[in-house]
Amino acid sequence: MTEAPPRPAPAAPVRDHGAHREADPHDDGVAGTGRAVGSGVLRYGGAERATGAQQYVADLPFPDAAQVAFVTLPVARARITAIDTSAALALPGVVAVLTADDLPQPVPRFGISHQDRPVIADGEVVFHGEPAAVVLAETVDQARAASRAVVVHHEPLPGVYTLEAALAPDAPLVHHPSVRPASGPAADSNVLDDAHYAWGDLEAESARADVVVENTYSFPMVTHFPIEPGGTVVVPTADGGVEVYSPVQHPYLLQRVLAKVLDLPLTKVRVLAPDPGGGFGGKQNPRYEPLMAFLALRTGRTCRLVHSLEDTFAMMRRAACRIHARTGFASDGTVLTHELRADYLIGAYADVAPRVMSKGSYVGAGPYRIPAVRIDARAVLSNTTPSTAFRGFGCPQVAWATESQMDAAARALGLSGLEIRRRNLIGRGEAFVRGECPAPSDGDWLESLEKAAALIDHDAPRPPGRGVGIAVAIKPGATSGLSQSLVRLLYDGSALAYAGTSDMGQGARTLWQQILADELGVGLDAVSVVSGDTDRVPFDLQTSASRSTVFMGNAVLAACRDIRAQVLELFAEATETPVELLGEGPGVLLTPEGELPLPEAARIALGSLRGEFVGRGTSRMRGRSAHPLGGDAAFYEFNCTAIEVEVDTDTGELLLLKHVSVSDVGTELNPLQVVSQDEGASIMGLGHSQMEQLLVGEDGVIRNLGALDYRIPTFKDVPVELVTAAVANADGPGPYGSKGISEGALLCTAGALGAAVTDAAGVVLRDLPITPERVWRALHDQTD
């Protein structure tokens, strides 16, 4: 077992410049312990980002492009009765105004869960910010001016913006039954989908319970707020196809959707995906690319749209959630029953939200040993921004409730938050989801708990006004996947990896570079990674669910090993050495004369004709149709977070003194990147725990639209001390025992913070975010 040491806080800055730039294949020769993998190799493409040379979609030059602006309405839901484009068309520079009438009829729809989203509002806008028409003009100014000149005659319609309203018996329906999937709950309600998980004998176990805690929790709508708002450029090609530039996490999915909507073969839809400037799940799925493609094909012009930050508020958000929980415990703290009803408030189109609901609630009972569980979850439509994937994928919502329940019971039983978790946390191999498709723990999670407890000094006495909270949570990794990779080892010893993973900040390319360096024995500087182009790079299902390390990592690894086998074979032939006398290992060919660096062996094998080796790697995980998630998770992300807080009881303000996050990472392929991801997720978790929430008015319009009143954490919101650490037992399915790590650190932030506030101030908060005002209100109500 290896343990990564806790990382230094900034008081002792990490100093690592220039190190690990060269991999030495002779160093030790064991895969995974070479010089590159496992060391803090600097980010691939980092220099370009630090100098401003990196080109994001808005930075790409398209001198001949016409510019796009949307026409939106000041209401959330309305019937469009007529659109008068004449004034707009008369303005200088205007190329075209496109409405639903200009599209094939019925207006094509697309989607992930099902095909509910029209290319452009078709007779009705269903959420605030949905375009009713789109304008193309020579300049951005002209496009915007023209968008204001388009007259949309419309009748406001009643909409639903909250769970209460959406679930009311006479609620207006967000979706016409015709766009609902055939299966699923009643089409005459706003419940789009539901999920049910249950095991054990609730009645019998309830009868044994000494303490039952029952509460309702809420988790707000939050938006991704990528610092890069993003955009799309569509170039019509001479052969009637399109080239689409969009910073998407899933280029191949976008390609498929576009090909279907446009009725084009995949070869005529080329998606070029510049690196996203932050994705966090928000840039996974197609939204306005199909509309842009129609506009480009219709006008024959390159069409360019750069979003504003405000636009993204109408494009992406996390599902809000209300969770009712009833949990029974024996007097020793053993949890016996857990009943959860989780209603996810999704938006006006399904996007991937039903999956968020079913996958998130699947782990609703947490990483605990619970004999009887019942989970009922629903995805409820509303006339709001369609919710989509967001780091954590439905898990932080239920973890907030379940972790708070554990603490409520601990308080009732006189146990600490640490102790009650110790007593209930599942051991390796034990199933935390039981029933027909059990989900066993794939890590030593107690180790993470103890490590976090030690780092926060959990049991230390604290002065009044201070408190500590500790929480745990899990998230299922991908349940199916397919990643294909090509690797080329060139004659001069340089190498190329073609890997479709989107590099949105997690540093995927750095990992492929490290793997190639070790496996092929080439210098890090000699490795290039190609991604973001469906014409040049083989298929990758998607970049999500922290899957890439495992899926694409294994594909890249396989491609490298394919090359080694080919080198061996050709070397044997070229040097007339019997194959049996040869062997290969990471970075080397083993010959009777000794080890030969692989690039050298490759050169000898290729001989005077030169050429190169092309390796192929595929990593495929088929789902299981009988499984409620469509397959077993490839791995689980487990995290333990502990927070020490000081509460100003007059104002409700919190001072976060210390924040500890311990993730089970399997193997740290790149410790520097693991730190970045863990710290980043920790702070993002503090965002939804402390300050972030989209406030939707009674008219369905977002009231805090934009950076001024939607607050995300800043430098000064970082806890006084932020410590992240890893448990690394090489027990993951990825290369060298790795697991995905990008989401863990925000799964249970809220639970840890809530418990810490309760410990410090004696008040219990069940609604996120825990703002100063809410803390004050709780204290105030208590003294009343």
Partner 1 sequence: MTTFAATGPSPDHEDPAVTVSTTVNGEHRTMSVPAHRTLLEALRDQLALTGSKTCCAEGECGACTVILDGHPVTSCLVLAVEAEGREVTTVEGLAPQPGELSDLQEEFLAAGAVQCGFCIPGQVVAAECLLRANPTPSTAEIREGMSGNLCRCASYERIVCAVHATAERRAGA
Partner 2 sequence: MRYTSPRSADEALGLLAEHGAGAKVLAGGTDLLVALRHRTVEPAVVVDIKRVDDFDEPVRVTDDAIVVGPTATMGRLAELEEVRRRHVALVEAALTVGSVAIRNRASLVGNSCNASPGADTAPVLLALGATVTIAGPAGERTVGLDDFFLGPRRTACGPDELVTALHLPRPRPGSGSAFQRITRRRGVDLGTVSIAAVLGPDDDVALGMGAVGPRPLVARTRLGDHESTAAAVEHLVAAATPIDDVRAGSDYRRAMLRVLARRALDTAARRRDEEAA
| Footprint on this chain of ligand FES (rule: CB under 6 A) | 227, 278, 505
Question: Measured from the CB atom, is 582 or 691 closer to partner 2?
Answer: 691
- From the list partner 1, partner 2, ligand FES, none, which binds 55 (C-beta under 5 to 8 Å, kind-based)? partner 1
Task: Identify the residue whose tokens are 């995980």.
Answer: 621
776 binds, among ligand FES, partner 1, partner 2, none (CB under 5 to 8 A by kind): partner 2
SS3 404: helix
Please report how close the Cβ of residue 313 comes to partner 1 at its closest, in angstroms. Answer: 11
139 binds partner 2 (CB under 8 A): no
Directed axis angle between helix 749-761 and helix 671-686, to 10°? 50
Q: Nearest-CA neighbor of 2 among 457, 664, 642?
A: 664
List, by residue number, the catalytic residues. Answer: 743
Cβ proximity to partner 2: between 457 and 648 the closer is 648
Residue 650 CB-density burial (10 A; 0-12 exposed, 13-18 middle, 19+ buried): exposed
Among 124, 137, 56, CA closest to 96: 137
Beta strands (DSSP E) in 166-226 are 191-199, 211-219
Of 581 and 720, the one with the shorter C-beta distance to partner 2 is 720
Q: Provide the β-strand partners of residue 135.
A: 69, 97
Closest by CA position to 743, among listed 545, 553, 446 = 545
Task: List the single partner that 429 binds among ligand FES, partner 2, partner 1, none, CB under 5 to 8 Å by kind.
Answer: none
- In whole angstroms, the minimum distance from the beta carbon of 654 to partner 2 comes to 9
The nearest distance, CB 19 to partner 1, in angstroms, is 8
Nearer Cβ to partner 1 (296/674): 674
CB of 433 vs partner 1, minimal distance in Å: 31
Residue 115 in the binding site for partner 2 (CB under 8 A): no
Question: In this complex, which beta carbon is closest to ligand FES, that of residue 248 or of residue 342?
Answer: 248
Answer with the entry of partner 2, partner 1, ligand FES, none that 45 interacts with (C-beta below 5 to 8 A by kind).
partner 1
Q: Which H, E and C letters describe 267-308, residue by residue? A: HHEEEECCCCCCCCCCCCCCCCHHHHHHHHHHHCCCEEEECC
Strands 78-84 and 151-156 come out as: antiparallel
Q: Kindly state whether residue 777 participates in binding partner 2, applying the rule CB under 8 A.
A: yes
Q: Could you list the beta-strand ranges (E) of 552-680.
A: 583-585, 588-591, 594-597, 612-621, 636-647, 654-664
Q: Classify residue 92 as exposed, middle or buried by CB count within 10 Å of its CB (0-12, 13-18, 19+).
A: exposed
For 296, list phi and psi in degrees, rounded to 5: -65, -45
**Is 312 a residue that touches partner 2 (CB under 8 A)?**
no
Report what 499 binds from partner 2, partner 1, ligand FES, none; CB cut-off 5-8 Å by kind: none
Among ligand FES, partner 1, partner 2, none, partner that 691 touches (CB below 5 to 8 angstroms by kind): partner 2
Please state whether beta strands 636-647 and 612-621 pair in parallel, antiparallel, or not at all (unpaired). unpaired
Shortest reach from residue 345's CB to partner 2, in Å: 19
Residue list 688-717, contact with partner 2 (CB under 8 A): 690-691, 695, 703-704, 708-709, 711, 713-717
Q: Does residue 776 bind partner 2 (CB under 8 A)?
A: yes
Say if residues 43 and 510 touch (Cβ distance below 8 Å): yes
Residue type, 179: V
Site residues (CB under 8 A) for partner 2, limited to 33-62? none
Residue 660's contacts (CB-CB under 8 Å, 6 or more residues apart) are 452, 455, 456, 641, 642, 643, 723, 724, 725
Residue 91 or 330: which CB sits closer to partner 1?
Answer: 91
Q: Which of residues 636-695 bind partner 2 (CB under 8 A)?
A: 650-651, 653, 690-691, 695
Smallest distance from partner 2 to CB 776, Å: 6
CA 238 to CA 76: how far, in whole Å? 39
Q: Which is nearer to partner 2, 202 or 705 (CB)?
A: 705
For residue 536 the two structure tokens come to 């040049």
Judged by beta carbon distances under 5 to 8 A according to partner kind, the member of partner 2, ligand FES, partner 1, none in contact with residue 531 is: none
Output the smallest distance, CB 697 to partner 1, in A. 17
Give whichever of 183 and 714 is closer to partner 1, judged by the CB atom.
Answer: 714
Q: Which of 701, 195, 181 is nearest to 398 (CA)?
A: 195
Which partner in ligand FES, partner 2, partner 1, none is near 321 (CB below 5 to 8 A by kind)? none
Q: Are 563 and 497 in contact (CB under 8 A)?
A: no
Distance of closest approach, residue 691 Cβ to partner 2, in angstroms: 5
Residues that bind partner 2 (CB under 8 A): 650-651, 653, 690-691, 695, 703-704, 708-709, 711, 713-717, 771-773, 776-777, 780
